[in-house]
Structure 1
Amino acid sequence: MTPRRKRMFAVAAILAGVGAAALLARLAFEENLLFFFSPTQILAGEAPADRKFRVGGLVSPGSLQRAPGSLEVRFVVTDNQHSIPVRYAGLLPDLFSEGKGVVAHGRLDGQGGFIAEEVLAKHDENYMPPEVAESLKARDQPGGAG
């Protein structure tokens, strides 16, 4: 093999390796990317039915139900316009309470509900996840979205 052919082969191998690494990085990024949707957007059909995403809003007062003898809890997330029931099996954050902001990661259950794999509560009285705050603000303004 001539030196020129060896260089061409080396360049082609490097380009193929860089291309494969870029493809794998893109696939990993897309797989871990979680989009945020409000209950109104979910009920309008904007949320993916076959992928994980985040739902956020406020925990509806009086909606928290704990299953006796298990870690399963059910509650309702609202954006003050529409609501979606959430089911979660695990320990809730210490700051989780009714009437407070929450973001849940998971997927739709195919029956109008949401199955959460992780639940995050707002940090303190002044903190609200940016996506939740924007969604609630848009819903409360006259002529807002939704």
Structure 2
Amino acid sequence: MHPARKQRLILVILLVALSSAAVGFVAYAMRSNMDYFYAPSAFAAGEVPFEKRIRAGGCVVPGSVVRDGSSLDVRFTLTDGAAELEVVFDKILPDLFAEGEAAVITGKLKQDGYVRADQVLAKHDESYTPPEVADTMHNKANCKGGPKI
């Protein structure tokens, strides 16, 4: 092999190795910032890790929203039509949050079986539902935020 060609080959291999290492380090660093989406059915099946930041979504069960009179604490239940998930939230809910509407929460599953949410997202218009909620709600026709069947 010609020496100039050998130098270029070594340079290309070195660049590929360094680029791969950089991508690997970035992916490893982002691992702690990833929020995995789970449906209420996955919670019922025991597939969700405890105390790890997760996302969940579904339809807010009508009649399940209970507000604490002395604090901002709110308890409500999400469903995907197959299972239900209890959520506790201690901040101000979005204006569009309502019973029978689609919602996505971010939080941690506690050992007691409920999710302590630190963020609640509500759908923002009649024609849009977050894709992960739409996939979860494919069989749920009576959720206003879910897809119409």
Give the TM-score normalised by the residue count of structure 2.
0.76
Cα pair 2:51 2:110 within 8 Å, conserved: no
Q: Counterpart of 2:41?
A: 40
User: Residues of 2 paired with 1:99 and 1:138: CA distance?
Assistant: 15
Q: Give the equivalent residue in structure 2 for 1:97.
A: 98
Q: CA deviation at 1:22?
A: 4.6
Q: Which runs of 5+ in 1 are unaligned?
A: 1-16, 141-146
Q: 1:123 maps to what in 2?
A: 124
Q: Which residue of 2 aligns with 1:8?
A: none
| Alpha-carbon offset, residue 50 of structure 1 | 3.5
Q: In 2, Cα distance between the equivalents of 1:123 and 1:32?
A: 25
Aligned to 1:110: 111
- Superposition deviation, residue 100 in structure 1: 0.2
Return structure 1 stretches of 4+ with deviation > 6 angstroms.
17-20
The gaps in structure 2 that reach 5 residues or longer are 1-17, 142-149
Q: Which residue identity is paired with 1:86?
A: V
Quote the RMSD (CA, aligned, Å). 2.2
How far does the alpha carbon of each residue in 1:12-55 deviate from its partner, in whole angstroms, 9 at most, with x for none? xxxxx978855552233111111111111111011122411101
Task: Give TM-score, length-normalised by structure 1.
Answer: 0.77
Give 1:1-146 correspondences, 5 Å limit. Answer: 22=23, 24-137=25-138
2: distance between equivalents of 1:117 and 1:123? 19
Kindly indicate whether the alpha-carbon contact (under 8 Å) linking 2:106 and 2:117 is maintained by their aligned counterparts in 1. yes
Instruction: Give the paired residue count.
Output: 127
